[in-house]
Amino acid sequence: MSRSHLRAFSVLLAGLLAALPMAAQTPPRALLVLPRLDATSATDSFFYFALDGGTGYEVDRVRRNALEVRQSRLGRNLFELIGRPTSQAAVPGELLLAPLHSADDSVREALLVETSTGYVAYFEQLGKGGNLGEIKTPAGRPFESLRAAGGNFALLARRLGSGRTVAVTLYRATDGRALTLLGVDELPIQPEVRSADGLPALDGRVLAVDLQGGGGRTLGHLVIDQGSGAIYHVTLAGDGSIAASRRRPQNLFDVFPREAARPVAERFLAVPVQIAGQVTRHVLLIDAASGRLAWLADVDGALAEPSLEALERDLNDSLPGDGPRALAAVPRQVGDGVTSGAWVLDGVSGRTLYLGNLALPQGLTINRVTVIR
């Protein structure tokens, strides 16, 4: 095989691996992130965990200057907290964290799911004592019937008009099956679980985005197939079942290359962009493999029909090289839940970027972040 043919084959193979539900070559230091919000729905701090062993960090001092933040290692390892061996690395999607919003718009609690076992845990008082929080586990394993290897799962959270998170749905994208945990705002020991089957079965890995309306009320969810590029809009009924699921005309590969140029932990990332009143108006899309960015505008349909366009800026000047990437994104919210920017962390290089000026995407800025340790 010639060198040119070998390179073409390598690029094609990387793209196929990124699209598969069970990626065989996950780069090291894939990350799991969780934001913490105050009572004004502004980002107070955020947590991130390395999935190769469970080591966790809290990043704070994020309100004063997005470009200079402080990082502190958490006292307890996440894997140890949930009874998982630290030597047992997790693939992306095997551990999921959902922020649980309170009626005052703050996030001080979270729900964790280990999708390979169906294990569920609540975390209260996030950040207390230099740890993720105080752990509380419900009886049994509420999601045990959905457990599967490979990590092709997503959590869909539903909030009421008061802002409270009242239900979380675990969605297994390989076959479209799902279960909804009701009453999560009470952190129940005996949770009520409802079947939520009817979501689309996807060709590749799932990427999901919660869409909020006025006051934080959940209007629906975007479900994105990273294999085919298809985008679906899903609405969950109040009892946790599926009320509607429709495919949108936009496709990721209208703006991104089909083949991945490098191995990645997750091919695509999504940053929901909220305007005043905690309304999700747009979504910033990131292709970790190519470094390119795209803008899914007017996802709520309030002002215009949704549209998808590529942005001129990309991440490659700030994340140079052709090696693997393991990116994670954390929205930066200011007062009333307005999204002013997003931090992008790379678990491979250890770099953190800040994408600013999200209100005007064509004027988007990309800067390196100084992390004080």
Q: Domains along the chain?
A: 3-265 (2.120.10)
pTM to 2 decimal places = 0.91
Backbone angles phi, psi at 75, to 5 degrees: -70, -30
pLDDT averaged per 10 residues in sequence order, the chain, 373 residues: 39 39 52 96 97 97 96 98 97 98 94 98 96 95 97 96 93 96 95 91 96 89 97 89 88 97 95 94 97 96 88 96 96 93 97 95 95 96
Per DSSP, the three-state class of 8 is helix
Q: Express each pLDDT in 315-347 by its tens digit.
A: 999 999 999 999 999 999 998 889 999 999 999
Q: Are 142 and 126 in contact (CB under 8 A)?
A: no
**Secondary structure letter of residue 91 according to DSSP:** P
The pLDDT score that the predictor gives to residue 298 is 95
Asked if 140 contacts 158 with a C-beta cutoff of 8 angstroms, the reply is no
Taking residue 250's Cβ as centre, other Cβ atoms within 10 Å add up to: 18
DSSP 36: E
Question: Alpha carbon of 149 to those of 153, 267, 367: distances in Å?
Answer: 10, 19, 37
What's the rounded Cα separation, in Å, for the pair 28 and 4? 28
Phi-psi region of 8 (alpha: psi -120 to 50; beta: other; left: phi over 0): alpha
Distance from C-alpha of 100 to C-alpha of 354, rounded to nearest angstrom:
25
Q: Are 61 and 112 in contact (CB under 8 A)?
A: no
Residue 61 CB neighbour total at 10 angstroms: 13
